[in-house]
Amino acid sequence: MERWRGKVAIVTGASSGIGAVTVKALANAGMITFGLARRVERVDELKKDLSAEAVDRLHSVRCDVTKEEDILAAFQLVEEKCGGVDVLINNAGQLKGAVSVLDAGNTQVIRDVIDTNVVGLALCSREAFQSMKRRSVDGHIVHINSILGHTVATTGKLNVYPASKFAVTALTETMRHELRLAGTKIKVTSISPG
């Protein structure tokens, strides 16, 4: 982590779960950390779990990754405050269980999952890459995927969640090739918790 001390991280979906743990860990490790979330007050509450030294390194930013204008505004804010992003953790995700792909009237659920898990991830990755490229930063983009991005469970109603996570797997490989072809040293990683 020493390489990243004083560098800037953005974590999406920072208000709970993996995102909340991640922003605390990065701020405590010395990174200037921006936690993006719809429920920004929950990110602010995380400061009470930080060391006195780390509190000033955690910044909360209201951002719904299903809205491009929110994403653009968040990345602009980070650029204005700190020059740009060095590490992006794409953690925001939705699993709207108990709704089948074949259930009537499920259109909004399908859109919410795809817009959060796939489109939001792609747009945040694009903005992070552009920031890194403009500043010639050898940064890192991390996608929090799922084991369901590699195999589909045969139980339960998972709607399009597995399809969205398979898309994350494919997007990671697509980005890896694009980064290589662009001649950058920016890395992209997919992590698949189970």
The reply to whether 161 belongs to the active site is yes
Q: What is the DSSP string of 34-60?
A: EEEESSHHHHHHGGGGS-TTTGGGEEE
Give the whole-angstrom CA distance, residue 117 versus residue 39. Answer: 17
Q: Which of 34, 75, 129, 161 is labelled catalytic?
A: 161
Burial of 104 (0-12, 13-18, 19+ CB in 10 A): exposed
In 3-state terms, what secondary structure has residue 144?
Answer: strand
Looking at the annotation, which residues are catalytic?
A: 161
